């Protein structure tokens, strides 16, 4: 986004600004404007509202939002404590609703949800996450049916080289399921097609 569109990016995450985050900001800043980092739990309406105010103070408006948050706490239902089930779920459910409550959806060019093929496949141990993804997909559909904003959903399969499942353990698990890793450039092409095209939901599934 920075390299191709000179976009001004705001990155919201719960952590305080760490060296790792700053180093990631520095890496992308060489392509243009450095992302603005705001520490906030986006499931919390007040924290998200404060973040929104900071963004509006600095830039006056928001063109688009990408909901790419996830908290992955895999466990079979029998072994899942309720707190962890809720945390995985609310990162998708509450966060989607908070974004609608805080941001002016009518003014956006798009609202993008990063969802997963878990909406359709339901891998063992991911009931909290799968439930959240199903909610996210349908929430976006409803936004479109009510003309709230242009809501787009991408259901990714598996990113092996970046993100929360880039460990060796997940790599082996995904390989056994016949999944190949999605890579950045091909994924960005799919996102471009999704944003510019007439479909509001696409799945990117890459097999071995």
**Distances from the Cα of 90 to the Cα of 34, 101, 186, angstroms:** 29, 15, 30
Cα angle for residues 46, 14, 180 (degrees, 5° grid) = 130
| Nearest residue to ligand NAP on Cβ basis | 163
Name the minimum Å distance from CB 119 to ligand NAP: 10
Nearer to ligand NAP, 23 or 147 (CB): 23
Nearer to ligand NAP, 12 or 131 (CB): 12
Nearer to ligand NAP, 141 or 165 (CB): 165
Nearer to ligand NAP, 6 or 189 (CB): 189
Q: With 0-12 CB in 10 A as exposed, 13-18 as middle and 19+ as buried, what is 119?
A: buried
Name the minimum Å distance from CB 114 to ligand NAP: 4
Name the minimum Å distance from CB 175 to ligand NAP: 13
Secondary structure (DSSP) of 49-85: HHHHHHHHHHHS---EEEE---------GGG--HHHH
Binding residues (CB under 6 A) for ligand NAP: these are 12-15, 41-43, 68-71, 91, 95, 114, 116, 156, 158-159, 163-165
Residues 6 or more apart from 193 whose CB is under 8 A from it? 202
Name the minimum Å distance from CB 56 to ligand NAP: 18
């Amino acid at each position: 986004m920075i390299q191709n569109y000179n976009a001004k990016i705001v990155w919201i995450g719960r952590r305080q600004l760490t060296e790792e985050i700053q180093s990631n900001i520095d890496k992308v800043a060489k392509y243009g404007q450095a992302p603005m980092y705001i520490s906030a739990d986006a499931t919390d309406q007040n924290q998200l509202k404060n973040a929104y105010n900071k963004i509006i103070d600095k830039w006056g408006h928001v063109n688009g939002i990408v909901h790419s948050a996830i908290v992955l706490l895999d466990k079979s239902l029998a072994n899942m404590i309720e707190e962890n089930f809720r945390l995985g779920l609310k990162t998708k459910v509450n966060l989607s609703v908070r974004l609608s409550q805080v941001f002016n959806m009518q003014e956006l060019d798009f609202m993008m949800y990063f969802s997963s093929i878990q909406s359709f496949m339901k891998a063992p141990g991911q009931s909290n996450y799968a439930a959240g993804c199903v909610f996210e997909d349908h929430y976006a559909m409803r936004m479109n049916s009510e003309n709230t904003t242009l809501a787009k959903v991408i259901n990714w399969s598996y990113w092996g080289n970046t993100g929360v499942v880039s460990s060796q353990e997940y790599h082996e698990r995904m390989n056994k399921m016949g999944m190949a890793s999605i890579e950045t450039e091909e994924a960005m092409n799919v996102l471009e097609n999704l944003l510019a095209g007439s479909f509001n939901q696409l799945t990117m599934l890459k097999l071995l």
